[in-house]
A and B are shown apart, each in its own frame.
Chain A
Amino acid sequence: MRITIFGNHRRLVLLAALGTLLSLTASPARAGISDAVKAQTLPNGLRVLVLENHKAPLATFNVFYRVGSRNEQFGKTGISHLCEHLMFKGTKKVGPEEFSQIIQQNGGEDNAFTESDFTDYFETMNKDHIDVPITLEADRMANFEPKDFDKEKHVVLEERRMRTEDNPEDALDEMVRAAAYVAHPYHWPVIGWFHDVDGLTLDDAMAYHKIYYSPQNALIVAVGDFDGDQVLKLISEAFAGIKNGPKPPPLTDLEPPQDGTRRVELKHAANLPAFEEAYHVPNIVSPDAYALEIASEILSDGQSSRLYKKLVVEKQMVVDIGAGYDMTSFDPGLFVVSAQMRPGIKAADTQVEVEKELAAMRDAPVGAEELQKAKNLEQAQFVFGQDSVMREAEMLGVYEMLGDYRNVDKYLDGIDKVTAADVQRVAKTYLVATNMTEGVLVPTGVLPHGGGGLSGGELR
């Protein structure tokens, strides 16, 4: 596509972003990644992880804040993501967008993304300039003072128009999640409802920053071609003096159990039907997580996977189909199967075929070779994922926020222990109709009412 979304302030979809990462684990021949990590907690509670990686003359610096749409309230959705945008709009010392400009002048790239569970700010650059983001990140943690609030809100609303309003699949995903979660904050989208974002004020953002952008709520991860002790010292010098705000309130929202299929329908400007089926599943704290990961591999990773083979190759019903599961969500998440139909194919007919595949997984154990193939894919993708300092930093950060970065090295063992009986058991437990929320996109065509066609002329 010609118009690329340039880097800044993008919001990553969790499944896509972390799917590959999480497939990483120490390959058996290699010592664990976490062995080489230097970890420290500063007196103000700020947690710091530093890892030397001398593969390329680069370094990446990440500041994670344990705040995302999960921490928001009804009526104020989108505040986490708006706050992320405002972090680039200046401090008591630095002008609007100057943060990015300084990083760029040092040959670096910077960006940030907001998830349901956390927000990650990162800079990747020449190893010799790692001190620059350290100073700048400390400044915006301590001296947040954003300018141009209203303009930036308009930018975020444009982002929402682009990502959701004019994107049928994202619009459908939003409706499915809102139906799947009735009480838990995973109910609303990370970017927030349009009218909520429109109503947010600068005071909202300042108050939010005060609670959630404290050292005690943050985690720093630096990976790169540097001297780890020296970088730890620089980080400590820059961040140790920053004071904490009030403690974030505890999260108490629980999702009541689902008993029965939930169905939503979305009419949207599009030509092709689509559907998304979502099943409530546990996260990494459950031993079932690894079996669910293997189930998603068997269903849709690679052209020999079950759903691809059946629906793309044999039946030729869909443009694309995928199954996704993210075991690192902070609270129990969703196992999602989604597809876009080919012209002339009904979503309901394809859903029948998907259900046959899920039934096959519930009714019989997967074969030994198929199970081994899924494990091999996980192992290979783990090694491939280490080919980027940024990915390595993200992986360490996510595991640390979930409890302990050292669990990164337990991942492959967990995958390796999964049996065919485990896969069948989780399919029987979770991938069942009573636990499903299904969303169907009913296309209304892409032409406006009464309009249409192509026109042209000379501009002014």
Chain B
Amino acid sequence: MSGATMRMKMLASVAAIAALVLAATPSHALDIKKMTLSNGATVLVSEQHQLPMVTVMIEFDAGTRRDPKGKEGLAELTARCLSQGTKELTAPEFDQKTDFMGSSVGVSAGRDYSTAGMTSLKKYQGETMQLLAGILTEPGLRDADIERKRAEQVAEIKAAEEQPGYTAGVEFDKDLFGDAPYGHPGAGSSDSVAKLTNDDVRGYYHDYYKLGSAIIAVAGDVTADEVKASLEKALAGLAGSVAPQDAPSPINVPAGLHVKLIDRNVMQANIIMGSGGVERSNPDFYRLKVMNYILGGGGFSSRLVKVVRSQHGLAYSINSGFEPGKFQGAFTIGLQTKNASSNEAIDLVLQQLREIQEKPVSDAELDGAKKFLIGSFPLGIERQSAIASFMIQVEFYGLGLDYADQYPKLIGSVTKDDVLAVAKKYLHPDSMIVVAVANQAEAKIKTSQTEKAADAPGAQ
């Protein structure tokens, strides 16, 4: 605990604080134990004995990037259908059992992988694990359930398309990634999902829910040995592995700002601007993390928030970020502003992108970014669910079990020159995709040419 004098100095100025505060050491006692099941699955366990509860997550290489062309939304639909009971238990019976214990059991599809998971009180750990294992080894996948979940997914897509931010994101990804694995919305489109067949779902389950290449993460009031034994028994029915997917070609946005304007009856323009980013394995990842914090990822410490929100009052929400994945992700800036401020906000963003490419950041900015990124690390691994998903990421992206200890060094070694270099290399203020969902008559976004295109998505 620092003393009273230091606290007074902290109030004095930001610069003084930057010099005084010691970098926090985020060595959180996750104490991860790594084991392998006989069918090849990797098991990571972090014993957390403070609360009588258990969280289990199982990663399958079955993310939405695997959706076949024309069958967008299949990974998502399969994940949803898997939670609809087992060969033995109908969906209502399964739900009744789960809810009666106060447990949750389910499967969800992410972009890179899908996750099956459970959370339960310790006393219901065994029974809940049986339910989880049941939907993975012997899922019901009945015709009526698949048809019901398909209709539900179509309806949810139509509901999501009412949200301007969702539509802006879908259109941006389509323009940036095209036909590549990240180019379609995870839920698919209402047209693509409506065409998915019951056998498509069963086939996807059969091809991608292979336990031999899965990662299992357990955080909770368990011992590693006992949990390994129960997983071994419960998941005995699943073996085999999934072959890796080929990486798509690098993203190349041609020179110019490519603007897509979507007309909606809204008071605010939802704007996404961006270009190609990086894959998670790119060694520039940590330099980009620091650069992006200073540019637009660091809330009130970031330039975009200072300029667009605090100084100009143009937005409640503005941020920038890289979305690195197994494959190259996007770099995006997202903001919302009243329609009439659209051009002003876009200009301010472009100015900031150019500035961080032209001039080195200040010592105080660099120092502040590192202190936050390093010091806040434990905040992201507080809850059991956060610990479990952290362990899966560490294993999936090959970060190493000592990642929590390495992270401060990786961030700490970034220099001002590094920040300038990655800003020059990865930001492209002259070659970007810009998507604006707005009332275009009010927004009057400047373009050199406007062409009417096909139907606006979600406009019925």
Contact = CB atoms under 8 A, between A and B. Distances in A.
Given A58-B379, A166-B266, A455-B450, A105 B102 contact: no
Given A6-B317, A453-B456, A129 B21 contact: yes
B379 A372 contact: no
Given A2-B165, A135-B11, A150-B313, A109 B448 contact: no
A27 B52 contact: yes
A19 interface: no
Nearest to B271: A3
Contacts of A151: 310-313
A125 B162 contact: no
Which of B100, B155, B163, B262 is packed against the most chain A CB atoms within 10 Å? B155
Contacts of A131: 1-2, 7
A343 B157 CA distance: 11
Contact of B382 (A88, A134, A388): A388
Which of A56, A272, A369 is packed against the most chain B CB atoms within 10 Å? A56
Given A313-B148, A376-B100, A2 B441 contact: no
B162 A457 contact: no
A108 to B, nearest CB: 7
B272 interface: yes
A272 B267 contact: no
Interface stretch (A43-51, A207-215, A245-253, A377-385): A377-385
Helix, strand, loop or mixed for chain B's interface? mixed
A436 to B, nearest CB: 25
Interface in A353-403: 369, 372-373, 376-381, 383-384, 386-389
B107 to A, nearest CB: 13
Contacts, number: 357
Contacts of A18: none
B196 interface: no
Contact of B449 (A134, A230, A301, A458): A458
Contacts of B319: 3-4, 6
Contacts of A129: 2, 21, 24, 375
Interface string B10-39: 111010011001001010100000000000
Interface string A1-29: 11111111100000000000000000101
Nearest to A148: B310
B382 A97 contact: no
Interface in B338-396: 338, 346, 367-368, 371-372, 374-379, 381-385
Interface stretch (B64-72, B295-303, B418-426): B295-303
Which of A136, A139, A446, A457 is packed against the most chain B CB atoms within 10 Å? A446
Interface string B295-336: 000111100011001111111110100000000000010111
B7 A135 contact: yes
Contacts of B98: 302-304
B299 A455 contact: no
Interface in B240-297: 256-268, 270, 272
Nearest to B96: A304
Contacts of A93: 11-12
A54 B28 CA distance: 12
A316 interface: yes
B172 to A, nearest CB: 7
A125 B99 contact: no
Interface in B116-152: 119-121, 148, 151-152
A58 B441 CA distance: 50
A309 B148 CA distance: 12
A319 B264 contact: no
B335 A94 contact: no
A342 B375 CA distance: 46
B413 interface: no
B301 A369 contact: no
A156 B309 CA distance: 10
A203 B312 CA distance: 22
Contact of B316 (A56, A162, A449): A162
Interface of A: 1-9, 27, 29-30, 54-58, 88, 93-94, 96-98, 100-102, 104-109, 124-126, 128-132, 134-136, 139, 148, 150-159, 161-162, 165-166, 168, 230, 234, 237, 269-272, 301-305, 309, 312-313, 316, 319-320, 340, 342-343, 369, 372-373, 376-381, 383-384, 386-389, 444-449, 451-460
20 contacts: A1-B166, A5-B316, A6-B299, A6-B305, A88-B300, A104-B298, A107-B376, A129-B21, A132-B10, A153-B313, A270-B162, A380-B101, A387-B51, A445-B460, A454-B260, A455-B260, A455-B261, A455-B452, A457-B447, A459-B258
Given A2-B168, A380-B102, 18 more contacts: A3-B317, A3-B334, A6-B317, A30-B52, A57-B26, A101-B368, A105-B21, A106-B17, A107-B372, A135-B10, A155-B315, A302-B98, A304-B100, A319-B155, A387-B384, A458-B257, A459-B256, A459-B258
